[in-house]
Amino acid sequence: MPFSIALAGKGGTGKTTVAGLLIKYLVKMNKTPILAVDADSNVNLNEVLGLKVADTLGNAREEMKKGVVPGGMTKDVFISMKLQQAIVEDDGFDLIVMGQPEGSGCYCAANTLLINFLDKLVGNYPYIVMDNEAGMEHISRLTTNNVDILLAGFRRP
Ligand X SMILES: Nc1ncnc2c1ncn2[C@@H]1O[C@H](COP(=O)(O)OP(=O)(O)OP(=O)(O)O)[C@@H](O)[C@H]1O
Interface residues with ligand X (CB under 6 A) are 11-17, 40, 133-134, 153
Q: What pairs with residue 150 in β-bridges?
A: 6
Instruction: Report d(CA 55, CA 40) in Å as an integer.
Output: 14
| Distance of closest approach, residue 114 Cβ to ligand X, in angstroms | 23
Instruction: Report d(CA 85, CA 60) in Å as an integer.
Output: 10
Q: Which one of 4, 8, 9, 16 is in contact with Mg ion (CB under 5 A)?
A: 16
Toward ligand X, which CB reaches closer, 2 or 14? 14
Q: Which one of 15, 61, 82, 138 is in contact with Mg ion (CB under 5 A)?
A: 15
Instruction: Report d(CA 41, CA 100) in Å as an integer.
Output: 5
Binding segment (CB under 5 A) for Mg ion, from list 8-16, 25-33, 115-123, 137-145: 8-16
Q: State the Cα angle at 59 between 122 and 146, rounded to 5°.
A: 25
Toward ligand X, which CB reaches closer, 40 or 94? 40
Binding segment (CB under 5 A) for Mg ion, from list 14-22, 95-103, 107-115, 139-147: 14-22
17 binds, among Mg ion, ligand X, none (CB under 5 to 8 A by kind): ligand X
At residue 34, φ and ψ (nearest 5 deg) are -110, 140
4 binds, among ligand X, Mg ion, none (CB under 5 to 8 A by kind): none
59 binds, among ligand X, Mg ion, none (CB under 5 to 8 A by kind): none
Q: What pairs with residue 152 in β-bridges?
A: 8
The CA-atom distances, in angstroms, between 24 and each of 35, 81, 94, 128, 132 are 12, 28, 12, 12, 18
Binding site for Mg ion (CB under 5 A): 15-16
